[in-house]
Structure 1
Amino acid sequence: MGSEENNNESNKITATQQAIASCCGAIITSLLVTPLDVVKIRLQAQSSSFANGKCFVYSNGLMDHVYVCENGNNKAWYKKPGHFRGMWDAFVKIIKIEGIKSLWSGLPPTLIMALPGTVIYFTSYDQLSEVLITKIGQDSDHIPVLAGSISRLGSLTVLSPLELIRTKMQSRILSYKQLHMCISNTVAKDGWLSLWKGWFPTALRDVPFSAIYWYNYERFKKKLCKICDAREPTFMISFTSGAAAGSIAATITLPFDVVKTCKQTEIWEFETLNLSQKSSKSTWTIMKRIVAEHGFTGLFAGIVPRLIKVAPACAIMISTYEYGKSFFHKLNKKNVQNH
């Protein structure tokens, strides 16, 4: 019995292996999902042009980024002309006229942000889950909720200052020395907490999303393993569970997503245009305004494009992550047997 426990301990994957698995998952997810958002933004720009200094949300499939509109130069990929009749037509024409690389416009800066965030998030989730299992017990439904919420809080807290720095770099051409002075002046004027502007509306959406997502993912995974009579989740079980859990979480938290987008774009516009910022409106005030102007359905605006993006992103990320963990688990087991 003791030797079996020792084998299980040595077979367990390390935090470094979990980080590598999540890193690979993040890269694959970004490569597959970024073209969807590039096409979506190009279609939006075609119907209503983006004004200079205004902001819109760009996603690489793992996280959202606020992108500041620039003058119509060669870097402004979202302003390139196009007469697209729909998503598929946009895909074909962009590849034909601009080359396939255009579908991954803006990926490098967002990927630099996504990789550390994803590594912190997924590795923390697994590490916290292991600790909570020893404290609470394996069958508790609270474990995915607690681990998902805490790990998301950690990752978005680390990334908030990086998001601010990235937006300042995009808003105008700055050398690293100028950027350092800009950040130093902001901190001197408004304090260190100014680096976390936009943190609260992001947390209000992402923390409940993570809690709902991981709770449903673990439940779906267990049920599908029973149905398929599988001891370990297969790639398809993880993929299906991730897509279903992501869709449920995205739908429930959509009102917070609408408010977060509205609030954060306003913050970045004030930052970019150097305007004096008025007192920030509360989440509840923004929600009431949306309901008054657009009705209750206004809180669920954009549900279809959000689901089209979130469901495959969640499915690809979790299935590649689980596959990576399974690979390392087998590798560790083989190394133990060889020794």
Structure 2
Amino acid sequence: MASEDVKTSEAAVSRIVNLAEEAKLAREGVKAPSHALLSVCKSLVAGGVAGGVSRTAVAPLERLKILLQVQNPHTIKYNGTIQGLKYIWKSEGFRGLFKGNGTNCARIVPNSAVKFYSYEQASKGILWLYRQQPGNENAELTPLLRLGAGACAGIIAMSATYPMDMVRGRLTVQTEKSPRQYRGIFHALSTVLREEGARALYKGWLPSVIGVIPYVGLNFAVYESLKDWLMKAKPFGLVEDSELGVTTRLACGAAAGTVGQTVAYPLDVIRRRMQMVGWKDAASVVTGDGRGKAPLEYTGMVDAFRKTVRHEGFGALYKGLVPNSVKVVPSIAIAFVTYEMVKDILGVEMRISD
């Protein structure tokens, strides 16, 4: 009995020592390997859930935006948000509103996971470099530093999942009347790879990367900076118990999404049109001359801009902006708030950048 008591006491002491060691490592900013891996997994899960929830909530508007971006101006089918949604409902039914959403989620879940996690790591790395400069030892993240971290995160996430975005665009545009049907994500990927080559999977990548810098960068910069300002200024009684309410955070996310998408939208239109190059099975896709007399061909991003503006006017760069704006406001807001709520449930720090 005495030996058992001794063993129990030794186990208790060992456990206390281990807990003390973990606490010491935490204070010193060092995480045990297993704890660090668990934290990474939690962050990735939170980011993936945030992306899936936010995109599914606005899937009908996402599809309508793409259809508006690529439709032929001389055979208008979708003319505005309400009319466009009604037309899709009437011609394709309820499922038509969510066509391509499975592919979209298959892309956005890993994209969102990588994006949020990359932002956390990039913000920490950029802040560390900034603090190495004389006089900046105690500096905090500024809006400009957040913009840089967001840009890095956007480029990494976009590049990692771009082929999924490319085939998602084609799955979204095709209809039952298309001569050939992509049966799903992997069928579309394999078909494009076989018939058009590996480079086709990255058509429109350059305008996407250029567009993602202001878009994702501004999303994070505006959201985080607004939250910081509200926490410090505490205007209108929006701060309760040193925390922002869900409604206030949703408003911050909406403002961030509106600013980012307005700046980057023309590049999104050009990216989508470049993705359609070489595919003749899409319904109502705009052609090179806008009249159906020439195949859709662009030699590059600049050429796509030039032909679009020349044949359709500057306003064509903002086709689909209205449904996109209606989509972006709740989408970005839901993504940010869902991310923070899931991390809170999983026991990870609430702030995106800590």
TM over 0.5: yes
Task: Find the residue that maps to 1:266 and give its secondary structure.
Answer: coil
The change in CA–CA distance for 1:22 and 1:286 in structure 2 (over 3 A counts) is same
Task: Show the 5 A alignment for 1:12-91.
Answer: 14-37=39-62, 87=82
Instruction: In structure 1, list runs of 5 or more residues that go unmatched.
Output: 52-77, 79-83, 333-339
2:275 alignment counterpart: 264
2:219 alignment counterpart: 213
Task: Find the residue that maps to 1:299 and give its secondary structure.
Answer: helix
The structural deviation recorded for 1:307 is 0.8
Pairing 1:126–2:117 present: no
| Inter-partner Cα distance in structure 2 for 1:94 and 1:211 | 35
Give yes or no for contact 1:221–1:241 (8 Å, CA) kept in 2: yes
Which among 108, 116, 131 is matched to residue 110 of structure 2? Answer: 116
Task: Find the residue that maps to 2:128 and give its secondary structure.
Answer: helix
Task: Show the 5 A alignment for 1:119-158.
Answer: 119-136=113-130, 137-158=139-160
Give yes or no for contact 1:243–1:311 (8 Å, CA) kept in 2: yes
Give yes or no for contact 1:27–1:115 (8 Å, CA) kept in 2: yes
Instruction: In structure 2, list runs of 5 or more residues that go unmatched.
Output: 1-20, 131-138, 175-179, 284-294
The structural deviation recorded for 1:282 is 3.7
2:343 alignment counterpart: 325
Task: Show the 5 A alignment for 1:296-335.
Answer: 296-329=314-347
The structural deviation recorded for 1:172 is 3.9
Deviates most, 26-35 or 11-20? 11-20
The structural deviation recorded for 1:116 is 1.2
Q: Deviations over 1:106-158 (max 9, x none)?
A: 32222112211111111111122122223324233332222211111111212
| Inter-partner Cα distance in structure 2 for 1:86 and 1:204 | 27
| Inter-partner Cα distance in structure 2 for 1:218 and 1:157 | 24
| Inter-partner Cα distance in structure 2 for 1:102 and 1:25 | 23
Task: Find the residue that maps to 1:253 and give its secondary structure.
Answer: helix
Give yes or no for contact 1:235–1:320 (8 Å, CA) kept in 2: no
Deviates most, 294-303 or 114-123? 294-303
Q: Calculate percent identity across the aligned residue pairs.
A: 22
The change in CA–CA distance for 1:278 and 1:154 in structure 2 (over 3 A counts) is same
Give yes or no for contact 2:68–2:319 (8 Å, CA) kept in 1: no
Pairing 1:183–2:184 present: no
| Inter-partner Cα distance in structure 2 for 1:209 and 1:151 | 11
Which among 236, 251, 256 is matched to residue 262 of structure 2? Answer: 251
The change in CA–CA distance for 1:89 and 1:248 in structure 2 (over 3 A counts) is closer
Amino acid at match of 2:26: N
The structural deviation recorded for 1:199 is 1.1
The structural deviation recorded for 1:42 is 8.8
Give yes or no for contact 1:205–1:260 (8 Å, CA) kept in 2: no
Task: Show the 5 A alignment for 1:165-244.
Answer: 172=181, 183=193, 187=197, 193-226=199-232, 227=234, 228-229=238-239, 231-244=242-255
Pairing 1:161–2:163 present: yes
2:26 alignment counterpart: 6
Q: Deviations over 1:275-320 (max 9, x none)?
A: xx99733433433444444544443343322211111111111111
The structural deviation recorded for 1:213 is 1.9
How many residues were matched structurally? Answer: 292
The change in CA–CA distance for 1:160 and 1:88 in structure 2 (over 3 A counts) is closer
Pairing 1:287–2:271 present: no
| Inter-partner Cα distance in structure 2 for 1:308 and 1:247 | 9
Amino acid at match of 1:161: P
| Inter-partner Cα distance in structure 2 for 1:295 and 1:85 | 18
For the aligned residues, what is the CA RMSD? 4.6
Amino acid at match of 1:27: G
The change in CA–CA distance for 1:41 and 1:288 in structure 2 (over 3 A counts) is closer
Deviates most, 101-110 or 146-155? 101-110
| Inter-partner Cα distance in structure 1 for 2:271 and 2:93 | 34
Give yes or no for contact 1:121–1:151 (8 Å, CA) kept in 2: yes
The change in CA–CA distance for 1:325 and 1:267 in structure 2 (over 3 A counts) is farther
The structural deviation recorded for 1:244 is 0.5
| Inter-partner Cα distance in structure 1 for 2:225 and 2:349 | 27
| Inter-partner Cα distance in structure 2 for 1:8 and 1:135 | 19
Query: Which of the two has higher C-alpha Rg?
Result: 2
The TM-score with structure 2 as length reference comes to 0.64
